[in-house]
């Protein structure tokens, strides 16, 4: 008979029950990371073109659950995962024509801001009333992201996902910061309310002060939004004007649509002349003003007689002033310019785009970018220059504020056209570069938020769609399809009163940043004191 000796220390196979327990523990450890990424994805799904705005609330509720009570280092990582889950799908359109490199690089950088917010939320998460501090921190992160690097990138602000939501009237009260704060506060408050209810059921005790804060965090934002509806209206204060929004379309999708610049100009002139024929036949009302999109004449009409003649003919045919989007070289500068074209006098005023797009209209760090990929530098051969003054055209007696494409994402760029006398706002854009991606719908939602924020009708003339007319209450009354030639004619109200958001400007955002800073200071101080007490013990 053979006897097998087992030496002490030799490893036996792990019992099935022990192996299963180890896998379970690993899954539990991975749960917060998965939840952070999935809640970020849920926030993305709440954005246009979907109308699922309410999904932002459970997205932030889960984010609050993931972060509360953890270390700041864990918050940094979990916040980064939330940022990736949100921004990777939201900004995928940035790589439609240039490949995944710039898209991923942009998301990797932008998610850092969300990571820092995540770390900050863990610091304040044990404070009384933590949903308030945490929501203010989120808005502080958005404020930073809207300013740095390269003058900022505010795309994806929480407010821009709420164009169809019940919170939208708050834009008129305090702009995008207050609207976004209300949504995030409600989401964090939802988690806090559920957490306290579960705890009370388990232990039989309820922390009343914390419960009050949780309930108020959920209840106050929608009640405030309901009260703010009084600030939203589309009543004409200075009469009305009839606008014509021209969408001429482009020969092809993608970056190379500019290779047929003359065709793009001809398309917009042709659609304007078609509209003029409809007006002459009595089938359409006569417009007082005509609005062309950004890049509708990439041939400089100031130096090219053919382009000048095409625009002049269209203006005379429709017998109304046209705002033309052109690319103009002047005094050694390249400018993205709106040109006010009078049917009798020709070009009489200009507005130069002030917030130009990094890596699209100018190339920061050109030598470094060229070393990485020469093709990227060839896409932006010459940098555009920035304008210096807000643009308000007087068109048949109407003050039309110009906010060119990318500028619509920046609070200041829209607000100062209104304070400079705009009675309605035009957002001329060129989305042909991004094909049929969600970018067009995301930008259209921004314009709807801006309409409510400043109580102005907003027109969105786009080269290839979706062009639209938006009332001051954010409702779209006319819209085109994508990649079709079309025109929209609509009588819109003119307004001159200023909403609280317009009057207050940056103050609500600054106040929320100060609240966030106060919360961080309190949280850090409380943590230091707790560690000292533990050391003394």
Q: Among all residues, which ones are annotated catalytic?
A: 294, 353, 405
| Pairing between β-strand 346-352 and β-strand 333-342 as defined by DSSP bridges | antiparallel
In the block, residue with structure tokens 């970056």: 255
Identify whether the C-beta of residue 245 lies closer than 8 Å to the C-beta of residue 463. Answer: no
Give the tokens for residue 348: 């009489």
CA distances from 247 to 442, 462, 528 (A): 18, 6, 60
Burial 13-52 (b: 16+ CB within 10 A, else e): eeeeeeeeeeeeeeeeeeebbebbbebbbbbbebbbeeee
Structure tokens at 292: 């062309």
What is the SS3 assignment for 465-483? CCCEEECCCCCEEEECCCC
Residue recorded with tokens 């995008």: 176
Q: What is the DSSP letter of 458?
A: E
Pairing, β 391-395 against β 346-352:
unpaired
Long-range contacts, 104-113 (Cβ 8 Å, 24+): 106/153, 107/83, 109/149, 110/83, 110/145, 110/153, 110/156, 111/80, 111/83, 111/84, 111/87, 112/80, 112/83, 113/83, 113/141, 113/142, 113/144, 113/145
Query: Which tokens hold the place of 423?
Result: 């009675």
135-154: burial string, b at 16+ Cβ within 10 Å, e else: bbbbbbbbbebbeeeeebbb
In angstroms, the first-to-last Cα distance of the chain is 63
> Which residues contact residue 282 at a Cβ distance below 8 angstroms, ignoring those fewer than 6 apart?
none
Pair 253, 298: CB distance under 8 Å: no
Distance CA 339, CA 352 (A): 9
Dist CA 451 CA 268 (whole Å): 26
β-pairing, 240-247 vs 398-402, is unpaired
Asked whether the bond before 397 is cis by omega within 30 degrees of 0, the reply is no
């Amino acid at each position: 008979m053979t006897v097998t000796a087992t030496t002490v220390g030799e490893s036996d196979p792990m019992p099935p029950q022990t192996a299963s327990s180890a896998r379970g523990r690993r899954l539990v450890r991975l749960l917060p990371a998965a939840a952070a990424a999935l809640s970020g994805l849920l926030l993305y799904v709440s954005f246009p073109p979907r109308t699922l705005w309410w999904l932002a609330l459970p997205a932030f509720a889960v984010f609050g659950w993931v972060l509360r009570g953890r270390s700041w280092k864990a918050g940094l990582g979990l916040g980064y995962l939330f940022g990736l889950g949100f921004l990777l799908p939201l900004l995928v359109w940035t790589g439609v024509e240039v490949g995944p490199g710039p898209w991923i690089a942009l998301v990797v950088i932008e998610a850092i801001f969300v990571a820092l917010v995540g770390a900050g939320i863990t610091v304040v998460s044990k404070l009384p009333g933590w949903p308030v501090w945490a929501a203010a921190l989120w808005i502080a992160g958005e404020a930073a992201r809207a300013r740095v690097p390269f003058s900022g990138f505010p795309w994806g602000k929480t407010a821009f996902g709420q164009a169809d939501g019940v919170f939208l009237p708050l834009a008129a009260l305090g702009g995008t910061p207050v609207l976004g704060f209300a949504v995030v506060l409600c989401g964090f408050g939802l988690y806090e309310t559920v957490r306290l209810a579960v705890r009370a059921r388990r232990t039989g005790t309820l922390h009343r002060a914390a419960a009050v804060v949780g309930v108020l965090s959920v209840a106050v934002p929608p009640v405030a939004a309901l009260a703010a509806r009084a600030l939203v209206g589309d009543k004409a204060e200075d009469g009305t004007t009839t606008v014509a929004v021209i969408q001429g379309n482009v020969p092809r999708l993608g970056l190379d649509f500019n290779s047929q610049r003359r065709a793009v100009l001809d398309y917009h002139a042709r659609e304007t002349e078609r509209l003029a024929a409809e007006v002459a036949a009595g089938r359409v009302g006569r417009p007082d003003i005509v609005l062309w999109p950004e890049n509708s004449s990439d041939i400089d009409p100031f130096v090219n007689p053919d382009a000048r003649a095409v625009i002049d003919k269209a203006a005379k045919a429709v017998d109304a002033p046209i705002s033309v989007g052109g690319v103009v070289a002047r005094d050694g500068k390249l400018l993205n310019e709106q040109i006010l074209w009078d049917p009798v006098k020709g070009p009489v005023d200009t507005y130069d785009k002030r917030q130009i797009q990094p890596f699209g209209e100018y190339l920061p760090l050109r030598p470094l970018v060229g070393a990485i990929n020469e093709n990227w530098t060839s896409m932006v051969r010459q940098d555009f220059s920035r304008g210096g003054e807000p643009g308000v055209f007087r068109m048949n007696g109407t003050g039309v504020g110009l906010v060119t494409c990318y500028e619509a994402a920046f609070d200041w760029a829209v607000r100062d056209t209104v304070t400079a006398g705009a009675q309605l706002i035009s957002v001329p854009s060129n989305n042909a570069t991004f094909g049929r991606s969600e970018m067009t719908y995301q930008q259209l939602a921004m314009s709807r938020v801006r309409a409510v924020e400043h109580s102005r009708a907003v027109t969105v003339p786009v080269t290839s769609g979706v062009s639209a007319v938006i009332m001051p209450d954010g409702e779209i009354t006319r819209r085109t399809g994508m990649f079709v030639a079309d025109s929209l004619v609509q009588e819109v109200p003119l307004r001159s009163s200023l909403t609280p958001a317009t009057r207050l400007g940056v103050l609500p955002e600054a106040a929320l940043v100060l609240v966030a800073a106060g919360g961080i200071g309190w949280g850090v101080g409380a943590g230091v004191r707790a560690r000292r007490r533990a050391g003394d013990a």
